[in-house]
């Protein structure tokens, strides 16, 4: 158990809908990262937040947005869902400080878009 929690574990929805994925980082970790892993693919970095502020952006679609709240939990919002958005979405957190190395991954949320 990495200490990172993600809810829900599974999510099934229809095209065009909007969903919210939630992540709680390890206690004390200020950085949160979101990744997308499509079937049998590697992880695509989406976005990073540090203490409530966006720090880095990867291949995140305009239909996707994220935020980190004062209690440090983060939410990833996916809208106008398409079939291709079906994937495993991981959240990871890392220890405090602008320069940290190890990311601890949550168990992921499996999103299925029908």
Partner 1 sequence: AQTVTQSQPEMSVQEAETVTLSCTYDTSESDYYLFWYKQPPSRQMILVIRQEAYKQQNATENRFSVNFQKAAKSFSLKISDSQLGDAAMYFCAYRSFSGGYQKVTFGTGTKLQVIP
Out of 27, 62, 70, 98, point to the residue binding partner 1 (CB under 8 A). Answer: 98
Which residues, 6+ apart, have CB-to-CB distance to 54 below 8 Å? 47, 48, 66
31 binds partner 1 (CB under 8 A): yes
Report cis status (omega within 30 of 0) of the bond before 8: yes
Q: Report, in Å, the least distance between residue 103 CB and partner 1.
A: 7
Question: Nearest CA to 8 among 18, 42, 19?
Answer: 19
Site of interaction with partner 1 (CB under 8 A): 2, 31, 33, 35, 41-45, 48, 55-56, 58, 88, 90, 92, 94, 98-105, 107-108
């Amino acid at each position: 158990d990495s200490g990172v929690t993600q809810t829900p574990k599974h999510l099934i929805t229809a095209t065009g809908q909007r969903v919210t994925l939630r992540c709680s980082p390890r206690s004390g970790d200020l950085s949160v990262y979101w990744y997308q892993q499509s079937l049998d693919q590697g992880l695509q970095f989406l976005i990073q937040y540090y203490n409530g502020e966006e720090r880095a952006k990867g291949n995140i679609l305009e239909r996707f947005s994220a935020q980190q709240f004062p209690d440090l939990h983060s939410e990833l919002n996916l809208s106008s869902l398409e079939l291709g958005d079906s994937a495993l979405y991981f959240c990871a957190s890392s220890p405090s400080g602008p320069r940290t190395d190890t990311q601890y991954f949550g168990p992921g949320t499996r999103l299925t878009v029908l």
